[in-house]
Amino acid sequence: MTSSSKRKAPPTPSQTFLAKTFHWINIISLMLMITSGLQIYNANPVFGGREGWHFPSFLLLGGWLGGGRNWHFAAMWLFSLNLLCYGLYIFVTRRWQRRFVSNSDLKALQVSQNPKRKNYAWHRLIYTGIIPVLLLAILSGLAMYKPAQLHWISGLFGSWQTLRTVHFITVPTVLLFTLIHSLLALKVGSLRLIKSMFL
């Protein structure tokens, strides 16, 4: 077999330095928020009261309630500011045109026979759907952080327990999004796409 007949390897996807930075900061801040959030949870579990199920110590960050809160809110500001900067970045660079779901994507999910086109559509749909979840996580977190100053936000949830439950449920939702987002990225661009975003 001659070299000309060999199949060429697909080009390696290229990501900008800023896109890589935003993804790294997202992952780091999420891990800090989740582990410190579990430390806060253990002080007064959302489900079952103080005698409810507790998370093991190797999943916790902060050492105690006050330490967990300090880590959690510090990471929250990092996460929120990073999302804001990323939002401005995709708006200025017009990346939103390729990142978020459109009418053509919805149509492709219904009628397209092209698996790759459907994967792209699902990817954009999931990417778009996580936005209200992230906003809900930030707003509910802020309402618990400053319940007196932001009473107009906490009041939207009806009760403190509902507020805590909603905030807690956003965590597995974001983790599920991360898993699906990664699996769809593998389908669309294989492992090369994942590597290009972090290396």
Per-residue confidence of the chain (199 residues) as pLDDT tens digits? 444 445 555 565 667 778 788 888 988 999 999 999 999 988 888 776 667 778 899 999 999 889 999 999 999 999 989 989 988 888 888 877 777 888 888 888 888 878 878 878 887 888 888 888 988 998 999 998 888 898 999 898 988 889 989 998 998 898 888 888 778 777 766 666 666 666 6
DSSP for 3-32, please give it.
GGGSPPPPPPP---HHHHHHHHHHHHHHHH
pTM over 0.75: yes
Residue 141's closest CA among 84, 81, 76, 79? 76
The pLDDT assigned to 78 comes to 92
Q: Which amino acid is at 72?
A: H
Q: What are phi and psi of 80, to 5 degrees?
A: -65, -45
The pLDDT assigned to 198 comes to 63
The pLDDT assigned to 5 comes to 45
> How far is it, in rounded angstroms, from Cα 169 to Cα 171?
5
The pLDDT assigned to 50 comes to 67
Distance of CA 182 to the CA centre of its chain: 11
Q: Is the torsion defined by CA of 40, 158, 82, 175 positive or negative?
A: positive
∠8-10-16 over CA atoms, to 5°?
Answer: 145
> How far is it, in rounded angstroms, from Cα 116 to Cα 137?
32
Distance of CA 67 to the CA centre of its chain: 24
CA dihedral 12, 25, 88, 130 (to 10 degrees): 90
